[in-house]
Structures are given as C-alpha cells and as structure tokens.
Structure 1
Amino acid sequence: MTNQAAVAPNKLDGAVLKIAGVVVLGAIMSILDVTVVSVALPTFQTEFDATYAELAWTMTGYTLALATVIPLSGWAADRFGTKRLYMLALLLFTLGSALCATADSIGQLITYRVVQGLGGGMLMPLGMTIMTRAAGPARIGRLMAVLGIPMLLGPIGGPILGGWLIDAASWHWIFLINVPIGAVALVYALRALPKDAPEPSESFDFVGMLMLSPGLALFLFGVSSLPETGTIAATRVWATMLVGVILLVSFVLYSFRQRHPLLDLRLFRNRNLTVASISLFVFIIAFMGAGLLFPSYFLQVRGESTLHAGLLMAPQGIGAMLTMPIAGTLADKMPVGRTVPFAMALIAAGFFTFTQVGTGTSYLLLCGSLFVMGLGMGGTMMPIMTSALRTLTAHETARGSTLVNILQQIGSSIGAAIMSVILTSKLNGSTVIPGVTDPKTGEPVTEAGAAIAHQHGAPTPLDPSLLERGLRFVADSFASTFWVGFVLVLLTFIPIAFLPRKREVSHLLDDARGDGGEPAPTPVMIH
C-alpha cells in the first residue's frame, strides 16, 4: 500500500475526505452543544425554577468533564486505537444528549451534561489525531482547515439553531437533535475509519491522572466561578484555583521523571510545538473571551432577540469560510510565520470597531467588522494548529493533539472568565435608582439593570431619560471591556512573531517509512 501523502500531495482524495467527514460531524455536535445550551439558560431557569448559580453548573459541569477526560485521550488512543475510542466518545455524547432531553430537574440535567462532556472531551483531540494521520505531512494544513469550520461556526450557528429550536419546538430539541446526528456519525465512523491495529502501549499512569485531571477540573472550576462571585478573593475561587495549580505543578515536576507520563510534556522540547502552543493559548484567551460578548452586546444594548443576535454574527462565519481553505493550502506550501501575522492584523482591525460601540452604532459597520475578523480567523487558528502538529512523529501525534486541546480548553475558560468579570464589574458601577428594588431578589435596581430589562420587554415605570442614560452606561461598559480584549489581541502578535518563517520539516512521513526508505502504509492505518 502506498502512502497517501506521497501519491496525492496536492489534493485531498476521496478516502481522506470521508475520514474528515466523520470528524467534522463529531466536532459539530460537540462545539454546537456548548453555544446552543447557553441560549437555553433562561428557559431552563423557568422550567426548573433554578437559580443562576444552579444554571451555571449546566455549563461548568460539561466543561469540567471535558477537562477531566481530555488528558486520558492520548494514552487511550495509543492503547485501544483511535477508531474504537472515537466511536465510544460518539456513543457517550449521543447517550448523554438523549438523557439530557429527559431531565426532570436541574440536578438531572447537570448529571447528564457531565456524561455528554465525557464523550465530547475526547471527540476533538481524537479527531485531530485521526485527521493528522490521514493527511500525511503534505496535506495537514488543508485537512485541519476542514476541522476548523465547525470550530469557528459553532459560536455563530449555536445561537441561531438554539433560538429557532426553542421557539419552534421546545428546549428538549436542543439535545434531541444530537441523537440522529450521533447515530449517523456512528455508522459513518464504522464504515469510513480504517480498522484499528493498536500497538502495545505503556502502562497507564494512575499517579499522573490523580494529579492532572483533578488539577485541571479544580482550576477551571475556580476560573468558571469568577463571573458569579465577581472577585478572585472569594474562597470558592482562590481556594480551588490554588489547589488546582498545586496539583498541576506537581504533575509537571512528576511527569519529567517518568518514562511514560500521562501527558508527555517533553514534546515541548519541539520548538515549533512550543511556539505554536503559546501563540494559540494567548490567541484563545484574547479572541474567544471577547468573542462571547459580541452577541451579548446585540442582546443587551440593542435589544435583539437571540435568533437575530445569532444572525448578526453570521458575517464572521462567512468571512472564516472564505479564507480557511486558502489558509489551509498556504499552510501546506509556506511557513505559517509568513501568513498568520497578516491574518491577525485583520482580526485587530475588525476588533477595534467594537471598542467604539454605542447605543446606535451602525449595524452595517459592525457586521462589516465581524466579516473582516472572520477573514482573519480563517487564516489564524488552524494554521497555528498545523504548525504545532506538523513536526511531530506519527507516534507523538495523539499526545500532541491532547496538549493542544488542553491549552485550548484552559485558554477559552480563562478568556471567558476575564471578560465576564470585567463587564460585570463595569455594570455594577451603574447608579442605583432610589426606592426601586427587584421584586424577585429585593435588591436595589441600577439604571443599567433597568435599561437591560427594558430592552427585553420588561415593563418599567422609570423615566425614559433614566433608561437612556442607563443604556448608554451599558454600551460604554461593553466598549471598555472590548478595549481589554483589543489589547489582548495585540499581545498575541508577540508569540506569533516567533512562529517558523522557514519551511518546517515534517517527521510524520519519516516516521512512516520502512528501513529501505520506502514509504510504509499510510499513517492512519497504524492505529
């Protein structure tokens, strides 16, 4: 059997695209689920009579399950093979989705979301491993660009799909829709993915697991609690983050003394992987954190419905779809250090517009800026991932993709927490309206709070001038928060400057060769 990359270095053949289809289906389910559920939180609050803190656990529980299972992916892929493990992840996610639709209480929903997260956490790192091995070194960029589509469209399509399903049917369908997709993906995976032939693997690192998975979960729990508590001084935040950090540092020190650690941090000796990982981590914090606030601006300041807010975000996805295939091809032909800075410049240019937002900023200007940001997004994230994985050997790919996914998860959580805390602290500075209290909580009502409630149709006896002043305050709070995001975007240029500017030498093909220099069977057949 000849190596696919050697036979067709300049295009993606049908066999590779079939494998990519399986992975994209899984990624769509996993990523869409996060944003679709965020839209349904107000509905859950009404249905289950839950507090905001309880609702937050439907998101946090899913995130913590992801963090717990991602470190196991690399070892499990080597031990059991990617096909079997990927199908198990699909089955867990689909089963969790079906269970979520049957939930009768907020406690049940949180429990079933954890089941979903256990499956969803393995889908992305395994998918990246499968696709990297399938493509071979010459086509990683183009194949990773395919995987990037659901990663970039999830935050845009989620609110649109979630809003439509809740309006047209019921909240149950935001979970039930995953069941037929999951069933199709399982059958598709069974037929399209090559048969597993896992090699004998090293023993499982139980000590490492007892430090790494709880450490990640506790750290992310503390970070995720920041928006609710509003301060890092809260015991729930600093105590869990501290214990998490202690466990993670202990794992780092421990892992370098082990021959086969759960997470192979020795891979960071690879300069390209290190630089790309740092670039990706800073980029995720900067863009994903602030990106979550774009639809919130449309909802809270402009009074748009969830569906309309999602549609207004669509230009970003369109821009990404236009440049992603081009960026994937370029990543296979030239060093990413020569293309990513230009794409980041587009993101920075589009982002700057949001630092100037007000109560009546032109939608044409905002949508145009989102489109420009989308163009930059399509040329940034997946080329950086390509650079991270290209110079790893086939044996190192599963461990490398696990590292990249952990950094993504941590960066996304930190970015979302930072932006939420900054925005919340700004809004809390709004003037309190004398003699007016919230009928549910009994707490004083601020001008900003009254303005946001009014934008969503809540009746208010307040003077229109007070509401207008409150609305301007909310808009200014968003603008100030976007300034922080803009500065973080600019900081991303620092690690990006160290991305390789010379053609990277891939070891994936070398790792798959026989003794005589002849190509061995395609890397995807190894597992």
Structure 2
Amino acid sequence: MSPDTAPSAARVDPKLLRIAFILVLGTFMATVDATIVSVGIDTLAGEFGASVAEIQWVSTAYLLAVVAAVPASGWLADRFGGRRTWLAAVGVFLLGSALCALAWSATSLIVFRVVQGLGGGLLPATGQALLARIAGPDRTGRVISIVAVVPLLSPVLGPLVGGAILGTASWPWLFLVNLPIGLVAMLLARRHVPAVPPSERRTAFDLRGAALLSPGLAVLVFGLTEVSHGRTLPAAAGVSAGLAMLAGFAVHGLRTRRTPLVDPRLFAQPPFGAAALALLVLGASVFGTMFLLPLYFQTGRGLSAGEAGLLLAPQGLGAAAGSVLVNRTIDKVAPRALVVTGIVLILVGTVPFTQLGHRPTDALIASALVVRGVGMAMVSAPVMNIVYSRIEPAHLPRAAGALNLLNTVGGSIGTAALAVVLQNRLTARGPDIAQAFADTFWWVLGLCLLAAAGATRLPRTHVGKS
C-alpha cells in the first residue's frame, strides 16, 4: 500500500505512531541542538581561549546554516524521495556532530557547526512532509499535533540538557549526545518508515534562486545579529544586502518559467499566506521570548543557567498539555477557533512579563509560561494541519519547506530584532534592568497581535467542508 493510498480513517494506529516517533527524533536533534550549546558558551570560550564575541559564532554559524539549508528541502525530497533525503540529512547532521566533538580550535568548531546546521536544517521540513504524506489528509491533523510539540519544547529542553551534560561530562558531549540518538533513528527509519518515491515530474534545481534566497536569508540574519551587537557598518551592509537579495529572489520567483526553490505565489494562496504569517510571528514570539527570559533571570535576578532553565520548564509542560488537548479536538473544532484561542492564550501569558519592573513572583511567572505553552501548541499544529491537509501530496515537500523556512526565519529575525530593542531599552533605563526587559516584552505582545490579524484569515471549517 503506497503512502498516497493510506487508509482514510482518522484513527492514528500504532504503526503510524511508530513512524511519527522515528521521524520526530530527527526534529528533536536538530531543534534542541540549536539551543543546547547556549549554556556552554563560557565553557567553550575558556577551552579554546576565545572571546565570548568570537565563540558566539558557534551558535550563529549553526543558525545561518539551518536558514540556508531549509529552502532546498523541498527540491531534494522531490528529486531523491522523502525517506532517502531524511536519512541523508541525519547522516550529515551526525557527521557534523562528530566533527564538532573533535574540534581543536574555535574556528574549526564554527566550521563544523555549519556542517551540522546544513543537516539539521533539512530534518524538520523533510520529516513533516514525509509524515503528512504517509498519514494522508484525514490523519494529518492528529499526527502533526503529536510531533509539532517538539520544536516548541526545544528552547526549554536545550539549555536544560546542555546544563546537565556540562554538570557531569566534558564539552564534547554537547555534540556526542546526538550520535546514539541519530544512529537509532536511522536504523529504525530504514526498517519501519516506508519509502516515498521521488516526484514523477523531475525539475531542474533552481540555481539562481538558491544563490539569492539562502545567502540572502543568511546575510539578513547576520546583519540583524550585528545590529544587536552594536556594530553599525557590518549591520547596515548585511541588512541591505540581505533585503536586496531577497527582493531579487521574489522577482526571479515570479518571472521564472521553471519551478522556483520556493514559489512566492504560494503565499498569496489561501490558506497558505495566513498560515505562513501565523508561523512566522509565532517563531519570533517563541524564540524571542526564550532569548529574553534566560537573560532576565540571569542578569536581572542573578540566577545560574541551571536555575534559569528550571524556571523555564513550565512552558514545556504547558506545550505538552496543549498537544494532548489539540490531539483530542483538532478534528472537532474549526481550525481558526483553535489558532485564535491559542494566540489569545499566548497574549495572556505574555502580559505578566510586561510587568517585570514590579518583580512578579516565581509562581506567577511559572503560571504565565504554562499558559503560553498551551497557547503555542494550539497554534502550530492546527496551522500545519490546515496546509498539509489541503495540499496535493506531490506538493507537500515544498510546502513543508516553505512553512519551516518561515518559522525558522521568524525565530531568527525575531530574536535579533528583540535583542536590538532590549539593547536600546537597557541604554535608556540605565540600572533598571527589569524595566528594560518589561519594555521589550511589549514588542512581543505586538507580534502576537500581528499573528492574531493573520489568523482571522484562516478557514472557519474543516477539510472537506464548505
């Protein structure tokens, strides 16, 4: 039985759950690794005799490689098949992880993080598209509601896992921990994940689009990162060049007669445009908040990295609870109702952080994070279900690549932009660090309102209903 002729019954059987678990291992490695190194920056700086500014490129290089790799995921899956592409991505990620553990200098570690990021950037989109095609449109909602919680947990789990590793082992284990997980995932995938054949319509790789889109995104994110560090000239050059290259890609994508790497017209088609906006802003809100809060806990309250990670854990618990709720209601409640409710919960959970100047209690912060976690789970899975359930199976890889690109870019740009806002508010507020963070969280609220505006354009009804 081929993936496209899977049973139409909405029941998620144990076989499909096993496939989802295997594929989500890849997403888990890639998304957690984006944040796992954050708590080890000081350790790595001391190990290699590098400044914090230099060693920060260990995180930035990974992020830029992920952003550069995501756009190619759809073409690779079309050309070589979903499972083969996913297995190759895991292999590249594990190779990068092993090389990182063997790094002998800050420069070598940064280079190897790029290799790791290229594999990691392909994993979420390829895994989601493959899973959606195997599940079929009637079961996509339930299975996506299970796996979509992993990217929401990564900003919380990464620092916790990184802190636990550094508390008991040396720094190479920040990367070696991926090897057993990845090898098990590859072995299980070869045995249990069905092969999805390549697209019957072979298209040439969009070289011009790739030369504009991936580097353009990477340069833009680099420029915004430089803004947050106060380096005016490289920031202006990066942002200008990045925007120019992205504008060039949009013109190319609209004019080319071949299949572009990411089709700009896709974003004008309902419900894809509204879904993309919701995921873009959600990425900015989630990763932006996970950038701001650890900083506040450590600089504003004097907590250690481990204590800050524990205080963030309630958001992960909320996301897990929200995933269960969505799994039980996604086929019963209109998609727009779920997403709007989720955004409202994120708004409610963000309000206490705009009052950090009044030093809210740990209990209030934990409660707010639980509410935010539930809300985030109610946004991501329904949005992906809307798109994956309404698109032709042959177009799933490119749609998944586009959605993951928007979510990744939203997280990258949102974090960089909020870092700039925070720096400005710290300068304006002087010694009142808590109030500077509170001011910045008003911008997070604004992002949530923007997502709510996009969510009002999502479909009122379920798949197949008018």
Fold shared per TM-score above 0.5: yes
Larger radius of gyration between Structure 1 and Structure 2: 1
Partners of 2:394 and 2:7 lie apart in 1 by 22
- In structure 1, the partner of 2:54 is 54
- In structure 2, the partner of 1:464 is none
Give the deviation of 1:2 after TM superposition: 7.8
Report SS of the residue matched to 1:505.
Answer: coil
- In structure 2, the partner of 1:509 is none
Partners of 1:397 and 1:368 lie apart in 2 by 37
Report SS of the residue matched to 1:171.
Answer: coil
- In structure 1, the partner of 2:341 is 342
Report SS of the residue matched to 1:332.
Answer: coil
- In structure 2, the partner of 1:226 is 227
- In structure 1, the partner of 2:198 is 198
Q: Which amino acid aligns with 2:302?
A: G
The yes-or-no answer on 1:209 pairing with 2:207 is no
Identity %, equivalent residues: 38
| Partner of residue 483 from structure 1, selected from 397, 421, 442 | 442
Alignment of 1:247-396 (within 5 A): 247-257=245-255, 258-358=257-357, 360-396=359-395
Alignment of 1:5-16 (within 5 A): 7=7, 9-16=9-16
Q: Judge conservation of contact 1:277–1:388 (CA < 8 Å) in 2.
A: no
Q: Which amino acid aligns with 1:493?
A: A
The 10-residue stretch of structure 1 (63-72 or 75-84) with the greater mean CA deviation from structure 2: 63-72
Give the deviation of 1:430 after TM superposition: 5.7
Q: Which has the higher helix share?
A: 2
Q: Judge conservation of contact 1:144–1:386 (CA < 8 Å) in 2.
A: yes
Report SS of the residue matched to 1:395.
Answer: helix
Q: Which amino acid aligns with 1:496?
A: A
- In structure 2, the partner of 1:460 is none
| Partner of residue 241 from structure 2, selected from 236, 240, 243 | 243
Partners of 2:447 and 2:209 lie apart in 1 by 33
Q: Judge conservation of contact 1:273–1:389 (CA < 8 Å) in 2.
A: no
* TM-score normalised by the chain length of structure 2: 0.95
- In structure 1, the partner of 2:157 is 157
Partners of 2:267 and 2:129 lie apart in 1 by 17
Give the deviation of 1:330 after TM superposition: 2.6
Partners of 2:261 and 2:108 lie apart in 1 by 31
1:431-482, Cα deviation, whole Å (9 max, x unpaired): 5xxxxxxxxxxxxxxxxxxxxxxxxxxxxxxxxxxxxxx4xx1111111111
Structure 2 unpaired stretches of 5+: none
Give the deviation of 1:223 after TM superposition: 1.8
1:66-99, Cα deviation, whole Å (9 max, x unpaired): 1222111111101111111111110111111111
Aligned residues: 463
Alignment of 1:433-512 (within 5 A): 470=431, 473-505=432-464
Partners of 2:464 and 2:225 lie apart in 1 by 39
1:321-341, Cα deviation, whole Å (9 max, x unpaired): 112132134333332112211
Report SS of the residue matched to 1:256.
Answer: helix
Q: Which amino acid aligns with 2:329?
A: L
Q: Which amino acid aligns with 2:377?
A: G
1:193-212, Cα deviation, whole Å (9 max, x unpaired): 21343244112222222222
Partners of 1:322 and 1:491 lie apart in 2 by 25
Partners of 2:418 and 2:289 lie apart in 1 by 6
* Consecutive aligned runs of 4 or more in structure 1 exceeding 4 Å deviation: 2-6
Q: Judge conservation of contact 1:285–1:412 (CA < 8 Å) in 2.
A: yes
- In structure 1, the partner of 2:174 is 174
The 10-residue stretch of structure 1 (204-213 or 35-44) with the greater mean CA deviation from structure 2: 204-213
Q: Which amino acid aligns with 2:262?
A: L
Give the deviation of 1:36 after TM superposition: 0.8
- In structure 2, the partner of 1:515 is none
Partners of 1:179 and 1:3 lie apart in 2 by 29
Partners of 2:464 and 2:269 lie apart in 1 by 12
- In structure 1, the partner of 2:407 is 408
Q: Judge conservation of contact 1:5–1:138 (CA < 8 Å) in 2.
A: no
Q: Judge conservation of contact 2:199–2:394 (CA < 8 Å) in 1.
A: no
Partners of 2:411 and 2:197 lie apart in 1 by 34
Q: Judge conservation of contact 2:152–2:286 (CA < 8 Å) in 1.
A: no
Q: Which amino acid aligns with 2:270?
A: R
Partners of 1:179 and 1:260 lie apart in 2 by 36
Report SS of the residue matched to 1:104.
Answer: coil
Give the deviation of 1:264 after TM superposition: 2.4
* TM-score normalised by the chain length of structure 1: 0.84
Change (3 A) 1:8 1:487: same
Partners of 1:359 and 1:48 lie apart in 2 by 40
Structure 1 unpaired stretches of 5+: 432-469, 507-527
Partners of 1:489 and 1:2 lie apart in 2 by 40
Q: Which amino acid aligns with 1:78?
A: D
Partners of 2:167 and 2:99 lie apart in 1 by 21
- In structure 2, the partner of 1:142 is 142
Partners of 2:333 and 2:269 lie apart in 1 by 19
Q: Judge conservation of contact 2:65–2:114 (CA < 8 Å) in 1.
A: yes
Give the deviation of 1:240 after TM superposition: 1.8
Give the deviation of 1:4 after TM superposition: 8.2
1:212-231, Cα deviation, whole Å (9 max, x unpaired): 2222221121122221126x
- In structure 2, the partner of 1:456 is none
Report SS of the residue matched to 2:73.
Answer: helix
1:347-375, Cα deviation, whole Å (9 max, x unpaired): 11111011111474311111111111112
- In structure 2, the partner of 1:451 is none
- In structure 2, the partner of 1:442 is none
